Structure 1
Amino acid sequence: MFSKLSVVVTSVLITLAAAIPNTTPPVTPPTSNQCCNSVVPASNGAASAVAALLGLDLSGLLVDVGLSCSPITVIGNDCGGTSVTCDAPDKEWGGLIAINCIPITL
């Protein structure tokens, strides 16, 4: 009985995993000043985990990724993290991740 249940549960999990689309985000020129808690390579495990939650596939991207980012609205303020310019559409990614981050030098 338990073996049948485990087969059913495994089948459901595989079906759900296949149903979640993974898309590679486009790497566009950075346009948004962001304050990120950390900036790591796209190949970093933490970046991959956050991207997977959002349905993004970062494999093969050779750019830096910002994690836990918020927009910088005033130039010169101390964000307490890493100030970068990224592609960070808030509507899609909700500040969890930003792609193609380049450090801001003032």
Structure 2
Amino acid sequence: MFAKFFTIASLAILAAATPTPGGEPASSCSTGPVQCCDSTAKANSAAATSILDSIGVVVQDVNALVGLDCSPISVVGVGAGNVCSAEAVCCQDNSHGTLISIGCLPVTL
């Protein structure tokens, strides 16, 4: 009986902790333009660490999501020129050119 309860409770906790697949709506991005990034990774990943080290940026939260090789896209009137075929994100820090964006959250377009 206890094992069944434990299994059901574990599944409920897992479901509550799992992020929604599409992320936040793009209209909720208040930190700047929505970015289209070739990929995203945690700040402590090998790919992100090498870029961050090369430009001398220290990220306080090593679990922060960073966007790699990003470019801004328009959310209004998403059309042929504004489609993101990679990962659409909203980031807190887009001040490092297109190389890396820091503190990102996935968004849906």
Q: TM-score, with normalisation over the residues of structure 1?
A: 0.61
Residue 44 (structure 1) shift: 0.6
State the Cα RMSD in Å: 2.1
Aligned with 1:87: secondary structure? strand
Structure 1 outlier segments of 4+, above 3 Å: none
- Quick one: percent identity of the two aligned structures? 38
Structure 2: gaps of 5 or more residues? 1-28
More strand, by proportion? 2
Residues of 2 paired with 1:45 and 1:63: CA distance?
14
Aligned with 1:46: secondary structure? helix
Aligned with 2:58: secondary structure? coil
Paired residue for 1:85? 90
1:101 aligns with 2:104: yes
Would you say how many aligned residue pairs link Structure 1 and Structure 2? 76
Residue 87 (structure 1) shift: 2.2
Residues of 2 paired with 1:59 and 1:48: CA distance?
12
Matching of residues 1-80 of structure 1 within 5 Å: 31-32=31-32, 33-58=34-59, 60-75=61-76, 76=78, 77-80=82-85
Structure 1: gaps of 5 or more residues? 1-28
Q: Which shifted more, 71-80 or 30-39?
A: 71-80
